[in-house]
Structure 1
Amino acid sequence: MASHRSAFKELNQMPAKLKEDVECWHHLITNGNKQLTSYAKTYSFILMHQNELNCGDRKTTRRTQESIDHLSVRLNKNIFVLKHILEALRLTRDRIEYMWQRVRIWNDDAHLKNHRITQKLNTSKLHNLLLFLHKRYEYEWEVKEMVVLGLDDDNVEYDVEILLAAWKTNRHAGGFEFNAKLKEFYSSIGQRRPKFLK
């Protein structure tokens, strides 16, 4: 019974943790959008300046090279921040996976399966939501990882727009079904939905 008590306590705390992780994920993706958009603009400026390198006298060439060097520093800052965002997304994904694994075990226990966390949310419903989110965030994280790793590629100039679109699309952690599940979750815990779900 003591193990049931600790399980009930952990279950009752999970919705608040999940809400925090969902909102953290969205915030990180939004920040990543800004960083990647900045990266794409900076990269286009570098390409423009590189075309000018052979067109001027020595003084103009030196100034152009200084501009390129300055822009390259900015690019590296974008990549640095995006790598930190990717790591934070991984940690968020892993926390949701951990919650799902815990609830999966309890979902097989007759006493815990029908435990009402709130009036509209029981263990079984939380299990299904966590399974859904775990899969979706896993797939989405793999896309984001591919984007960030793609920025280190030597041929990135041909792929910047594709990488930007891949980051912004959120095919797995977005869309009607995903948002509907989150809206239902917020309703079940009696919390106001964040603006990104309105």
Structure 2
Amino acid sequence: MEKHYEAILGAVGEDLSRDGLRDTPRRAAKAMEFLTKGYHETLEQVVGGALFDSDNDEMVIVKDIELYSLCEHHLLPIVGKVHVGYLPSGKVLGLSKVARIVEMFARRLQIQENMTRQIAEAILQVTGAKGVAVVVEAQHFCMMMRGVEKQNSWTTTSMMLGRFREDRGTRMEFLSLIGK
């Protein structure tokens, strides 16, 4: 990957022997490996053993999970927050694992619509919940730094599964609790 960054920097007209750029291809390759580490993680690894028996059947919500991703179309940042809710059915997931599942999918080249679905389906798969809700609110640097250059635009996507899709009251309770 380092050699490819050297080629890119040369193609834009940079001098790779310049003091500030001498180590840039190595640093950029290391950064890209970190930003796409989700490709090397599995749901099983991320969850570990953090699934616990529980008789709780009330909504569990983890909101305002920071989101950092890269759009698959321009390799520019997507920055925002994710809200996740689920209705347990005998098992609850360690709270930090909800954020780690978000991170696993965010650290891949993405479009927001697919990532929202992937997070919801993963939470459902792991917990066997009666329902899962995910709302993602993000800014896309491909809209801010290039193209239409709209600095204040936000994209909101949602995925409602199970009771959140079927029961308007459950869905509205979740949206109210996350402030939507």
Q: Which has the higher contact order (CA 8 A, sep 6+)?
A: 1
Looking at CA atoms only, which structure, 1 or 2, has the larger radius of gyration?
1
Which one has the bigger strand percentage? Answer: 2
Provide the TM-score with structure 1 as the length reference.
0.27
